[in-house]
Amino acid sequence: MRTAPQRTMRARALLIALALMAFQIAALVSPAYACGCGAMVPPAGTDLTVYDETSAVRWDGRGEQIVMSLSVSGNVRDAAWIMPVPHRASVELGDPGLFTQLSEVTAPVERTRHHFWPGADDWPFGGGHGDGATAAAPAPGGPVEVVGREHLGPFDVARLTATDPGALADWLDENGFQLPDRLDTALRPYVDKGWEYVAIRLAPADGDSVLGGALDPLHLTFASDRLVYPMRLSKLARTEQHLRLYVLAAHRMEPRSTIGGDTPKVTYAGRIPAKSGGPLPAFADGERYLTALTQDFPQPSRIHDDHELRRTASDATHRTVVWDDELLTAGGVPVWLLTVALPLALLLTAAVVLCFRRSSRRPVPPPPPVHAPPPLG
């Protein structure tokens, strides 16, 4: 029978376990209020997580193309985000096979390396290896102008210009694009520079279904004399952000700065295979040098600019290597064991030989003198 102190300790342990479980569940369903490609929020009282956001960018010195792929989960039936662009953009659906091919080309290579001394998993320490209504466009010359509105798959896309960030935020809200309350402040730098905007509202084909899985990619094309990837709106995010970016250009490219995130990591740099088919060479269209980058933003509020990429000092190639560590063996026997056993055997043999030699060198006592018997009388 348990005593009162034992019951109290068990109750405390149960409460701690339940608290930890609740914390983990809250972390898993916490909404993603932005992604690396612009601001995104779900409707009030719902959850939306962007668990994978990948973009491919192609730049030829005069124009830029961005193909974006988002994978989401949650309990929402629609959501919206906005993408600022430096010039007027055209929008179409992208080819999902592009990212499959990019992943294959940039996949890490596996190599084996051997270690001499046993590790924690080696013997003797281990055991082995184990759709919505369309609003009429405001009169030209107003603070917000709709230059295009189309439906692409699950996306309601509005292409806009604006001279007033507050009016832009109001138009978006009035037309079903639910975006962060602080959006007008975050849009101010783009309005001041005369940028335009692609606002996207997404909803599943079945109005009763919730969003989930990989969404159809969107393909944006616009003029640009510099390679820029809009990131400033991601400062509105409330959760850590992760960016995965494929860049196709004439040379290897790199971000000019971290813009408030961790140092970007290059996971692949090199020319795409000349004879490869599929959507990748069609998207590259002659720009055959591919640079793959990843970057984490633990504190999105520190994001202070857009990514601008520049040519690196050299077109040195790079590929991520995944190492498989194996213990060095000879004939199935660990080499370290041979190097330990052999000296021991040699020492033992030497000791035996030494003992034998010493014993063979011991002086042999002379035999006792032989005395002749006395003569017989």
Dist CA 306 CA 301 (whole Å): 13
What is residue 77's predicted lDDT score, i.e. its pLDDT? 67
* Chain centroid to CA 191: 31
Lowest mean pLDDT among 218-232, 266-280, 317-331: 317-331
* Chain centroid to CA 196: 29
Q: pLDDT-derived band of residue 76, with 50, 70 and 90 as boundaries?
A: low
Evaluate whether 67 touches 39 at the Cβ level (below 8 Å): no
**What six digits make up the tokens of 233?**
């709106």
Lowest mean pLDDT among 45-54, 101-110, 275-284: 45-54
Q: Which tops the pLDDT comparison, 14 or 268? A: 268
Q: The whole model's pTM is what?
A: 0.71
What is residue 180's predicted lDDT score, i.e. its pLDDT? 73
Nearest of 148, 125, 121 to residue 137 by alpha carbon: 148
What is residue 85's predicted lDDT score, i.e. its pLDDT? 95
CB neighbours of 10 closer than 8 A, spacing ≥ 6? 2
Lowest mean pLDDT among 153-157, 220-224, 259-263: 153-157
Chain segment 82-120, per-residue pLDDT in tens: 899 999 999 999 998 999 999 999 998 776 665 555 665
Q: Which residues of 88-109 are buried (b: 16+ CB within 10 A; e: fewer)?
A: ebebeebbeebbebbeebbeee
Dist CA 336 CA 344 (whole Å): 13
For 343, the 3-state DSSP assignment is helix
Dist CA 126 CA 282 (whole Å): 51
